[in-house]
Structure 1
Amino acid sequence: MSATVLVVEDEKSISTLIQYNLEKEGFKVLASETGEEGFELIKKNLPDLVLLDWMLPDLSGIDICKQIKKDTKLKSIPVIMLTAKSEETDKIRGFETGADDYVTKPFSTKELILRIKALLKRVKPSLTEDIVSFKDIKIDRLARRVYRGDKEIKLGPTEYNLLNFFIKNPTRVYSREQLLNQVWGNDIYVESRTVDVHIRRLRKAINLDDQDDLIRTVRSAGYALDSQ
């Protein structure tokens, strides 16, 4: 599982436990202990799923969920609410706000991970399937092979990771900073122009024989896997 999960939880012990178990399952995990920082991380990183505590020291999880679902760039991100509130009225309020699932504390980490996987499989199948495609591009994730039509394309590891990231959300435009965070990682210092170099290599590799250019450059915004 190569999905990125953002955990917004102010109880350090719970956050650490969730992060440890998610990383064991192959997830990339970001974490925040406050609502304001969590929302900034959502806008900056566009995670594949948000685990959102209801009770936070500043903004409430309900308020953050409302903001996510009102933003056209963020509203497709699935949200699981984590809360000690177990009353039916509270659950209804959470779902009315736009939450996709609701987990009551205390919870089993195994159950939480199963719910995360089930939700991602439902709303973002391109994250979890072994073979994914866009137009005539196909990625076999188990074999780490890429095809355009019936022709196999040889990619370097960074170009493969870029394409595999793009195909999770085709047509979505990602800034250089977002691509650096998601493909290279937050802990690795790379200049933003390095993204341009690898995009050119990826474009050259997949656009053979006068085929349609499937890497769209959006001036002053970034790049997308999309038809021109």
Structure 2
Amino acid sequence: MASNKILVIDDTTVVRIKVREMLPPGNFQVLEAKDGIEGLNLIRKEKLGLIMLDFLLPKMNGWDVYQEIQAQPELRKIPLVIMSGRKEEVVEKLPEPFQYFEFLGKPFDQKQLILAIKAAMAKAKLPREDDGTSASSNNEPSTQINPAATAAVNSSGEIEALNAKITKMQAEINGLKKQLTQVVSFIKQKVK
């Protein structure tokens, strides 16, 4: 069935095979692409039910593929899982929280894969803001959007995203402090 086609775009053969093996047998047709250009060609050619996109790819990187997908409304509707072993590179281009795709860190296990796919499917169903909705009545001042209000809303969203990042970073710092304390304790015991 066409809706069960999953495209795995990853330059690592092991990852493509791993995804294929972790999916429930018989339910999916897995298509594979080893670089961004090959992946984008399959995205345009096939009717896909899910795209799994590595962020670091040869020929055309995952960021460029992502932008091509987002530029076309019919492709934006396809559930998307972005994979990477370096989440910071994804967050640098696409700040958290990720609204329209799910992130899957490498390495991953079957449970993480299935959860990411389910989350991507749910996120793909969310309504999207249409960038062109307010441009239709520019002649009437009463219907124009106040730029200051728009900036405040954007700033508010940015502040929330930054606060979420700070909270996450603080948790990581606390985890690192705990690990450092354990290492120091271990070294002290060995020195005795």
Q: TM-score range by the shorter chain?
A: 0.5 to 0.7
Question: Aligned Cα RMSD in Å?
Answer: 2.7
Count of aligned positions:
124
**What 5-or-longer segments of structure 2 have no aligned partner?**
127-192
1:95 and 1:101 in contact (8 A); partners too: no
- The offset of 1:57, in angstroms, is 1.1
Unmatched tracts of structure 1, length 5 or more: 126-228
Higher strand share: 1
For residues 64-104 of structure 1, the C-alpha deviation after alignment (integer angstroms, 9 at most, x for no partner) is 010011013312112211111132x6325235898511111
Rounded to whole Å, the distance in 1 between the matches of 2:40 and 2:21 is 22
Instruction: Name the one with the larger helix percent.
Output: 2
Larger radius of gyration: 2
How many angstroms apart in 1 are the aligned matches of 2:69 and 2:84?
A: 18
Q: Which has the higher contact order (CA 8 A, sep 6+)?
A: 2
1:38 and 1:101 map into 2 onto residues whose CA distance is 18
Partner SS for 1:47: coil
Report what 2:57 is aligned to.
Answer: 56
Partner AA of 1:93 in structure 2: K
Report % sequence identity.
Answer: 31
- Paired letter, 2:90: D
Rounded to whole Å, the distance in 2 between the matches of 1:124 and 1:4 is 17
Distance 1:3 1:62 in 2: 24
Contact 2:81 2:120 in 1 (8 A): no
Written as runs of structure 1 = structure 2, the 5 A alignment for 1:79-228 is 79-87=80-88, 90-91=90-91, 93-94=93-94, 100-121=101-122, 123=124
Q: 1:128-177 deviations in whole A, cap 9, x for unaligned?
A: xxxxxxxxxxxxxxxxxxxxxxxxxxxxxxxxxxxxxxxxxxxxxxxxxx
Q: Provide the residue aligned with 1:65 in structure 2.
A: 66
TM-score (norm 2): 0.56
Residue identity matched to 1:119: A
Distance 2:111 2:38 in 1: 27
Contact 1:8 1:34 in 2 (8 A): yes
